[in-house]
Structure 1
Amino acid sequence: MNFAGRKVLVLGLGDTGLSMAKWLARRGASVRVADTRTAPPRLAELKRSLPSVPANCGPFRDETFADIDLVAVSPGVPLAEPTVRRVLDSGTEVVGDVELFAQALAERHPRIIAVTGTNGKSTVTSLAGAMARAAGVDCEVAGNIGPAVLDALMRREDAERNAGLWVLELSSFQLETTTSLAADAATVLNVTEDHLDRYRGIDDYARAKARVFSGDGIQVLNRDDPRSLAMALPGRKTSTFGLDAPRRAEDWGLLERGGEPWLAQGANALLAVGEMRLAGLHNAANALAALALCRALGLPLQPLLAALREFKGLPHRVELVGEADGVRWYDDSKGTNVGSTVAALAGLAQGDTKLVLIAGGDGKGQDFSPLRSAVKRSVRGLVLIGRDAPLIEAAVAGAGVPIRRAASMDQAVALAAQAARPGDAVLLSPACASFDMFRDYRHRGEVFRLAVERVIDAPKH
């Protein structure tokens, strides 16, 4: 698309909004930016790098949207916001950063892997990128995981070095404004309740996720998730993954060999789950998804398996942060919804392991009732923090598990240490957003890790 001289309004001035402003200005557009916050996070950088681009900070006003040819929306700006809705209804074109990226790549024809889903996106995206690099592919990992796709593309342009493969993590918010991305292989890993403060319901949320399958690439679907599996499209090639035995030669799953689970494709056992550095069966599913995506592009298998053996995982995703007195401490602060926490509990509660769970925060309107059976099955004690602690306590009532409330992360960790026994694991997996108590999930995880270090290092009497 030719942007020269076009009047473009960028909504939102975080990392994505700034990347769109830079990209559009680079292509000769007349850009202005608006953000409802009075001091958006990248305002200073906008003024430094694009001093001629005006920024309107504060509540959206109708005049902000006057005389505009195109609106570029950041993922954090809801399309249902009344002023944005009026723009959509007026017929003005509305795009997001991934759509701008897709249009830019249309003539370059690199290969693309696209990953979405409620949980596991970042792990699968990072792992697929590591696998592709191990297979000798010049690969760029970008999107919701960071960096923003347009930032990564501009760096590539400046270096005059095109990527052979893009591995993209895409959120439902990004997919809402994406129409022309045609990934060679794409997956919806799973769909569980999340962001229901922004969607009419889980079906609406799932429809946004399913937009990742535009084009005619290979669909990688989760056999263990009915909503993912139901996204199979007529005439499209599919590959599935799940924690059962593969059903077809092209499918991925687990086979038992010598009493141990092995990652497998079809009837071929490939790698013992115990050889992975990633903890938990949910990460076995993530590994299968990454393998399916990379093999869908024809990448050679052995380098993929070698990369998988070495992949340590990402911070704040069921990350082992300490071990003492027979108790292992895991940081899953990225577990910001119920489905993620249920998966983490199931993944760690193998054999006789019991868990002490620290949960709570801003629940974003979720139904917490699915936690009840998971807590009953594998949790020895539950410590609740944050604004929606009462809602979680009510949802798991009757599970037969002692529940304590904590006013701070330090107190939560101390209570968890009291409840844990040798052989147990303590898991921070809040099932909630962090903003009621912390800057973000990273801050929450760091506060947890420091609190764990203090407990482990405390003198024993």
Structure 2
Amino acid sequence: MNPHDETPLPHGADAPGFDASGAVVPGAAESAGLAVEHLPPMVPAQDDAQAAAPQEWQAPLSEQAGVESAQVMEQADTAEDVTADGVDDAQTADLQSLDDAAFKGVAEGAPEDAAAEDVAEPALLLEGAAPAEPTSPAVLDNYVAPTISAAKAAADFVAQIFAEVRASDEPEAAPLPIAEVAPVADASDAVQEPQGRPGEGMAPLQDKNVLVLGLGASGLAMARWCVRCGAQVTVADTREAPPQLAQLQQELPGVRFVAGAFDASLVDGQGLHAVYRSPGLSPATFAPVFQAAKAIGLVTGSELSLYAAALAYLRSQHAYAPCVLAITGTNGKTTVTSLTGQLVERAGKTVAVAGNIGPTLLDTLAGHIDAGTLPEVWVLELSSFQLDDVAGFEPTAATVLNITQDHLDWHGDIHAYAAAKARIFGQTGLMVLNREDAEVMQMLPPPVRVKLQKPQQREHLTFGADMPRRPGDFGIEIVSGMPWLVRALEADETRKRSRSEAEEELHIQRLMPADALRIRGRHNATNALAALALASAAGCPLAPMLYGLREYRGEPHRVEPVALVNGVEYFDDSKGTNVGATVAALTGLGADRRIVLILGGVGKGQDFSPLTTPVARYARAVVLIGRDAPLIRAALADAGVALIDAADLPQAVDAATQRAHAGDAVLMSPACASFDMFKDYEHRAHVFCDAVRALAQDAGQSVEGV
């Protein structure tokens, strides 16, 4: 299986909103309790003790204190510690050293009609500090803000936050490793019961005969889980000796293995209770077995089906009721999944991250059961393969980030592909929707009309690169040319509205400058908004999440900076394995430079024509490699840029270098799968980086970041 995700896009290294050390984090304008109370409630209500928030006090900015805080540095001794801003971490304030247990930071911008030089500085709120005992007397001086630009306002208020938090006397909050944190009380009590580990002898599978199709990572995980639950398991694979066979036979000697074609004989007369398929199997491969199973009333499903059933069992038998946050989409899944997990952990909750590209759902669940560390929150990355035909999966909140053409060879057409993605929402969970994607917005069901009542709309919120439109929505606001991550709140929650009022009056809450993110590109700003929305649905306060956003460095091979050689910057976007990912990467990088683009590989039946407009606008030249290079050439014939063929990737790097000018970027974002020329996308990335390294050595330059 080749999961395909988006990649981070760069912004200028000198982007506004950074202090002298390169660090930018949000300020605060109002209580961080707003982080969740304006979203649809997706977690159990707090009791009175929990709801009683610590007293908070407002303090104006202290210009001088911000300079002192910038002296907090982190050590950087490996090339991988170069920040996405192009600033070495030895010059970047160490966010980990800050005591964010002592404060909440929610940035609120200036009034809508404020001129650029009159942008008000956000106020700071400290949590847990008594009003009568301010942290720093200097902060309480009568301070008159000078006339400043929007960019300087952002940089100054960020420096001030560092100073205020640094001044706190409370001890630093330690990181929360999942395996070392005690689980939530109800779940931990259940795990410690003497009846045995949760999941052992699970009633639906005890003493049942189960067939697992496919012996990949997911198939092996399903076999382990079913044996754990007391089932008699048979594993079938079309290969005589799949790579995991030896491990299966060693770990689970009681499991029967069958090699050969998938047909009805695997079901007929076998006394089976259920058949589960691995997500990597194509529908044509497992269809004969599933058809035979359904014809005689057998249960059919996948690893996700087993995971959902396991959570339902743990809830009923052990009172374990975690929040489940689920992420899918053509591009951005891995980034948003990793980022959401980091935000949840930064907010002090125990979390497990699992799914599409590993670790597997069931192995992760079993590991936490055995360790007694069942988490409060699950963050799951799910592919269309995993979601296809799933039933019974009911997450707390879920998102479909976007829909563009991908895996059409597996699903058949774009409508079947989108339908598989839409299954992630279940029937009851909060829907987190990309309002700029028409395919995604069509997944929102129409309002249900109830007699004598207003139509009932399913709980949902939206995110996008534009301004938010409803209370709870997330978006981006441009303030004097600088983009801010923002959230919409209801301007006056107490005022009753007449039925004739179509538009809700909104208060726009500015959270942090988009350029404060280490991951590059406007599309990564929207990824950050999706992660904020999901983590908020799990009850996470906003302030520590904003710190988590600033700390997140992105995923490998997603518009990853490789080197700067003779004024040309090289980017590895090997994970850009579909047209949508490459369009996003090209658009983001092309905002401030010209691009020489390397394209090609196995197209998986995609339409390459959506590349034409961004290539014409942002590319200086395109270098083509791989099996489907002729198809890409035909699609880009009218783009008006040079199209150059290369026999292999090192030759493509040489050709791109010859075409690039100082100040340009060479972007390898193939828009294709890699298996015509490479083992996988990681192998392709390594070949690209080796070629760039050779260029740098020939030029007598060091290579940063490779």
**Fold in common (TM above 0.5):** yes
Q: Which residue of structure 2 lines up, in the alignment, with residue 69 of structure 1?
A: 273
Q: CA RMSD in A?
A: 1.5
Change (3 A) 1:416 1:58: farther
Deviates more, 1:440-449 or 1:165-174: 440-449
How big is the shift at 1:269?
1.6
Deviates more, 1:384-393 or 1:232-241: 232-241
From 51, 75, 78, give the equivalent of 2:282.
Answer: 78
Contact kept? 1:336, 1:433, Cα under 8 Å: yes
* Partner SS, residue 370 of structure 1: helix
From 570, 579, 583, give the equivalent of 1:329.
Answer: 570
How big is the shift at 1:200?
2.4
Q: Which residue of structure 2 lines up, in the alignment, with residue 366 of structure 1?
A: 606
Following superposition of structure 1 onto structure 2, how do residues 146-165 of structure 1 map, counting pairs within 5 Å?
Answer: 146-165=358-377
* Partner SS, residue 404 of structure 1: strand
CA distance, structure 1, for counterparts of residue 416 and residue 648 of structure 2: 35
How big is the shift at 1:125?
0.3
Q: Does residue 218 of structure 2 align to residue 16 of structure 1?
A: yes
Partner letter of residue 93 of structure 1?
Answer: V
Q: Which residue of structure 2 lines up, in the alignment, with residue 169 of structure 1?
A: 381
* 1:284-325 deviations in Å (ceiling 9; x for gaps): 111111111112233100111101101000011111122222
* 1:125-164 deviations in Å (ceiling 9; x for gaps): 0000000000001000000031010010011011022110
Q: Which residue of structure 1 lines up, in the alignment, with residue 477 of structure 2?
A: 255
CA distance, structure 2, for counterparts of residue 115 and residue 130 of structure 1: 14
CA distance, structure 2, for counterparts of residue 361 and residue 89 of structure 1: 38
CA distance, structure 2, for counterparts of residue 64 and residue 350 of structure 1: 56
How big is the shift at 1:40?
2.0
* Partner SS, residue 197 of structure 1: helix
From 417, 424, 428, give the equivalent of 1:212.
Answer: 424
Change (3 A) 1:39 1:440: farther
How big is the shift at 1:383?
0.9
Change (3 A) 1:131 1:3: same
Contact kept? 1:99, 1:177, Cα under 8 Å: no
- Uncovered stretches (5+) of structure 1, i.e. residues with no partner: none
From 364, 382, 392, give the equivalent of 2:632.
Answer: 392
Contact kept? 1:117, 1:209, Cα under 8 Å: yes
* 1:207-240 deviations in Å (ceiling 9; x for gaps): 1000011131111100111011111123311111
Contact kept? 2:283, 2:410, Cα under 8 Å: no
Contact kept? 2:622, 2:641, Cα under 8 Å: yes
Following superposition of structure 1 onto structure 2, how do residues 88-103 of structure 1 map, counting pairs within 5 Å?
Answer: 88-90=293-295, 91-103=297-309
Partner letter of residue 279 of structure 2?
Answer: P
* Partner SS, residue 168 of structure 1: strand
Change (3 A) 1:88 1:80: farther
4+ residue runs of structure 1 moved beyond 4 angstroms?
none
Following superposition of structure 1 onto structure 2, how do residues 14-413 of structure 1 map, counting pairs within 5 Å?
Answer: 14-66=216-268, 67=270, 68-81=272-285, 82-90=287-295, 91-106=297-312, 107=315, 108-233=320-445, 234=447, 235-266=457-488, 267-351=508-592, 353-413=593-653
* 1:19-74 deviations in Å (ceiling 9; x for gaps): 00000011111111111233323222112211221222343244333312211111
* Partner SS, residue 157 of structure 1: helix
CA distance, structure 1, for counterparts of residue 210 and residue 529 of structure 2: 42
Identity %: 51
CA distance, structure 1, for counterparts of residue 218 and residue 430 of structure 2: 28
Partner letter of residue 628 of structure 2?
Answer: D
Q: Which has the higher contact order (CA 8 A, sep 6+)?
A: 2
CA distance, structure 2, for counterparts of residue 382 and residue 111 of structure 1: 45
CA distance, structure 1, for counterparts of residue 654 and residue 677 of structure 2: 18
Partner letter of residue 350 of structure 1?
Answer: A
How big is the shift at 1:460?
5.9
Partner letter of residue 487 of structure 2?
Answer: Q
How big is the shift at 1:85?
4.4
Change (3 A) 1:182 1:450: same
CA distance, structure 2, for counterparts of residue 447 and residue 39 of structure 1: 30
CA distance, structure 1, for counterparts of residue 699 and residue 611 of structure 2: 35
* Partner SS, residue 313 of structure 1: coil
Q: Which residue of structure 1 lines up, in the alignment, with residue 656 of structure 2?
A: 416
Q: Which residue of structure 1 lines up, in the alignment, with residue 174 of structure 2?
A: none
How big is the shift at 1:186?
0.5
Change (3 A) 1:57 1:329: farther
Q: Does residue 695 of structure 2 align to residue 455 of structure 1?
A: yes
User: Which of structures 1 and 2 has the bigger CA Rg?
Assistant: 2
CA distance, structure 1, for counterparts of residue 646 and residue 240 of structure 2: 33
Partner letter of residue 78 of structure 1?
Answer: S
CA distance, structure 2, for counterparts of residue 44 and residue 65 of structure 1: 25
Q: Which residue of structure 2 lines up, in the alignment, with residue 440 of structure 1?
A: 680
* Partner SS, residue 178 of structure 1: coil
CA distance, structure 1, for counterparts of residue 359 and residue 671 of structure 2: 25
* 1:160-182 deviations in Å (ceiling 9; x for gaps): 22110000001111111421111
* 1:375-405 deviations in Å (ceiling 9; x for gaps): 1111111111111010011001111111111
Would you say how many aligned residue pairs link Structure 1 and Structure 2?
A: 460
| TM-score normalised by structure 1 residue count | 0.97
Partner letter of residue 83 of structure 1?
Answer: P
* 1:389-425 deviations in Å (ceiling 9; x for gaps): 1001100111111111112111111111111111111
How big is the shift at 1:84?
3.0
Contact kept? 1:40, 1:57, Cα under 8 Å: no
CA distance, structure 1, for counterparts of residue 292 and residue 487 of structure 2: 48
* 1:321-341 deviations in Å (ceiling 9; x for gaps): 222222221111111111111
CA distance, structure 2, for counterparts of residue 50 and residue 298 of structure 1: 40
